[in-house]
Amino acid sequence: MAELSDQPALAVEGLSLAFGGTQAIRDVSFEVQPRELFAIIGPNGAGKTSIFNCISGVYHPQSGSIRLDGTEILGQRPEQIARLGVARMFQNIELFDNLTVLDNLMLGRALHMDYSVAAAFLFSRKARRSEVANREVVEGIIDFLDIEGYRAFPVGMLPYGVKKRVELGRALAMEPQVLLLDEPVAGMNVEETEDMARFILDVRAEMGITMVLVEHDMGLVMDLADRVLVLDFGERISLGTPAEVQADPNVIRAYLGEEITEPAREA
């Protein structure tokens, strides 16, 4: 289980990103506390995925700071950021269809493999010990996500909802400090969505992992999140508890595209 810290698990300050003349993110700041389930929402094109891409090192913002447990990660390569403890569950499933569930999850352990290519080729004693230890971690995740019956199946044969669980499992196999959940229930039916919501809550309760969620399913966000950041046209327009942001006139205006007027008072 992740250890508690006296500083934010993730701190984003003054983040700005532009593509040519288009400002995707404009001076956005927020902090995510250890073990918090923090959500980022906003209309299409608000900048949600761009923030995820900045945190994971895919995009390089023009200005700002991103600190992981106090360590600046802005400017580092994606693989370096992954080694520091950031994992991502992608909106579009990024699994290897021809590999089994077990093999896909073992790929998530690659950062924890501490032997050379030569040792792997010769399957040395060190390689064998590492293989056994990492496989034990993966087997625990398979059990945790209730996918034992699929462990030997090629991922390409699985139902969509199970594939999303495997995607979550591979991210968990990295043992992240911060887990980025990019629309984890996109394309799911009601039953699959409820299952994923339960697993997300279990990840926080049993593993203590800090999570940042981007999701269009507002019911899910309001049920799960501790706090919610709302973006519109790349700018922060609200930050607070689900109840606070739902009542914020700026949020209502961004989603409904209408002015909020005070009700007429009785004479």
* Cα–Cα distance measured from residue 240 to residue 243, given in angstroms and rounded to the nearest whole number: 8
**Predicted model pTM:** 0.87
Domain boundaries, given as residue ranges, for the chain: 1-85+176-267, 95-175
pLDDT of the chain along its 267 residues, tens only? Answer: 445 557 999 999 999 999 988 899 999 999 999 999 999 999 888 999 999 999 999 999 999 999 999 999 999 999 999 999 999 998 878 899 999 999 999 998 887 666 554 455 455 666 567 678 889 999 999 999 999 999 999 999 999 999 999 999 999 999 999 999 999 999 999 999 999 999 999 999 999 999 999 998 999 999 999 999 999 999 999 999 999 999 999 999 888 665 434 444 443
Instruction: Give one word for 257, left, alpha or beta, with left for phi > 0 and alpha for psi -120 to 50.
Output: left
pLDDT, position 25 = 97
Letter string b/e over residues 71-90, b meaning 16 or more CB atoms within 10 A of that residue's CB: eebbebeeeebbebbbbbbb
CATH architecture of 1-85+176-267: 3-Layer(aba) Sandwich (3.40)
* Cα–Cα distance measured from residue 76 to residue 57, given in angstroms and rounded to the nearest whole number: 6
* Amino acid in position 212: V
pLDDT, position 133 = 85
CA-wise closest residue to 55 among 85, 26, 33: 85
pLDDT, position 14 = 97
pLDDT, position 253 = 87
pLDDT, position 63 = 96
